[in-house]
Amino acid sequence: MKYAYEDLSPEQFEKLIFFVCQRLLGMGVQSFSKGPDGGRDAKFKGTAELIPSKAAPWKGTVIIQAKHTNGLNMKFSEPAFFSKESESSIIAKEIPKIKKLKDNNEIDHYMLFSNRRLSAGAESEICRYISEQTKIANESIRLYGIEEIEGLLKQFPDIARRAEIDPVDSPLMVSPADLADVIISLAKYIETVEVAKYIPPVARVSLEKKNQLNNMTPDYDKCLREYYLKDTNIIDDFLAAPENQELLESYNNVVEEFQLKIIAKHKGYQTFDDIMNYLTDLLFKRDADLKKNKRLTRAMLFYMYWSCDIGKTEDVETY
């Protein structure tokens, strides 16, 4: 089950992590009220049930922190969250608080949860940095990213119910994760091809008819074609390449999700122009990689529309 973690309030996310920690550590987990946390959102003192394992559990005082972001597809490795060179990153600001707890013998182990994507490389680097700065043993530091949180909620489905987190209605969600993978690879691909040799293809259905069905204005359609029509054959070749099979699957996942989004939102918009603008604004707001590649992202959305992967066609009477 997928959840809209980015749409939770920080308090809701902390509540969710509190129940997660009750499962991992034990019912003795103590949460703290909203306010200056002194480097801790929750605390556990005793012998952990599952961390790091039943055979060799942590013993002592565990300090727990939950760092929530409203951004989608955010990462632990982003400089705003962690940077050795920055004193203003989220991790850097926590170091003095953790050191104070360590100096006062109020911490033996440290757990940090965030609804961000966590790579193995970032996990190793951040844990090592925290250990060096605070003198907490590296093996006593655990980071949990969105992937592992999701896995825990699948393993213990009662946690979300206890935290009163509603499952996401998938047709109403647009996730940029798969699209970001496609756009990053497409940007690299374009650097290796001769753009001039590509001739715009003929649309599969009458574009005029498609625009009428979807209520796209002539001026908006003209701008889209002027800016992005030349890219459609490049994208065709890119997605058709055998080595890009996984990216094609990601593209198809995006198309399915976006089409469902359009079905859910179309009645609230007067034109398809608004839908396209809504999607691009949402994507740029929620994914740093797509924001860096704005033109390619817009070109990909046009390609989806041009290829009849999103929007009404002659074969679709109504939604």
pLDDT, tens only, 268-287: 556 889 888 878 887 887 78
For the segment 201-224, the average pLDDT, to the nearest whole number, is 82
pLDDT at 314: 66
Kindly list the domain boundaries of the chain, sorted by start residue: 5-168, 171-306
Cα distances (angstroms) measured from residue 182 to each of 171, 193, 208, 295: 21, 17, 29, 14
pLDDT at 317: 43
Cis preceding linkage at 200, omega within 30:
no
Whole-model pTM: value is 0.57
Instruction: Please give the single-letter amino acid code of residue 127.
Output: C
Percent of the chain whose pLDDT exceeds 70 = 86
- C-alpha dihedral sign at 266, 268, 273, 276: negative
Please tell me the least confidently modeled range out of 124-138, 167-181, 243-257, 277-291.
Answer: 167-181
Sequence-ordered list of residues with C-beta below 8 angstroms from that of 236, at least 6 positions apart, any chain:
201
For the segment 74-90, the average pLDDT, to the nearest whole number, is 94
pLDDT, tens only, 293-319: 999 999 999 999 998 898 887 654 433
3-state helix, strand, coil in the chain (%, to 5): 55, 10, 35
Domain 5-168, CATH number (from 3.30.460, 1.10.3470, 3.40.50, 3.40.1350)? 3.40.1350
pLDDT above 50 (res 105): yes
Q: How far apart are CA 296 and CA 302, in angstroms?
A: 10
The overall average pLDDT reported for the chain is 86
